[in-house]
Amino acid sequence: MELPSPLSKPTVLLVSSNTRTVDPQQWDRVQQKFNILNYDCSSVDDFCNQLVSGGRYSKIDAIVRTGWLKAEPYSTHLLFTAAVAKYYPPSLKLIVCSGHGYDAADVDTLTKLGIWYCNTPDTCTEAVANTGLYLILSAYRHFTFAEYCARNDWAQIRSLGMKAVDPLGTTLGIVGLGDIGTRIARKAALGLGMKLCYHNRQRNIDRESQIGTEILYCPSLAELLQISDCVVLACPYTPSTHHMLSTEQFELAKESGMRIVNIARGRLIDEVALLQALRDEKVVGVGLDVHENEPGVNENWSDNYMVTLLPHIGVCSRTTWKGFDKVCWDNAEAFFDTGKPCTPVNTIL
The catalytic residue among 147, 203, 294, 318 is 294
163: number of Cβ within 10 Å: 13
Is 201 catalytic? The answer is: no
Query: Which residue type, as a one-letter code, is found at position 224?
Result: L
Residues contacting 103, CB < 8 A, separation 6+: 236, 237, 238, 265
Q: Under 8 Å CB-to-CB from 52, ≥6 apart: which residues? A: 58, 87, 89
DSSP state of 2: P
* Separation CA 289–CA 259 (nearest Å): 14
Query: Count of CB atoms within 10 A of residue 306's CB?
Result: 17
User: Which position among 77, 141, 199, 312 bears the catalytic label?
Assistant: 312
Cβ neighbours of residue 266 closer than 8 Å, sequence gap 6 or more:
288, 290, 291, 292, 293, 294
CA 91 and chain centroid, separation: 30
- Rounded to the nearest 10°, the torsion over CA 75, 81, 84, 89 is 110
Instruction: Report DSSP letters for 86-136, one per residue.
Output: TT--TT--EEEE-SS--TTS-HHHHHHTT-EEE--TTSSHHHHHHHHHHHH
Q: Work out the number of other CB atoms within 10 angstroms of the CB of residue 78.
A: 14
Active site residue 186: no
Query: Pick the catalytic residue: 265, 267, 271, 291?
Result: 265
Is 271 catalytic? The answer is: no
Catalytic residues: 265, 294, 312
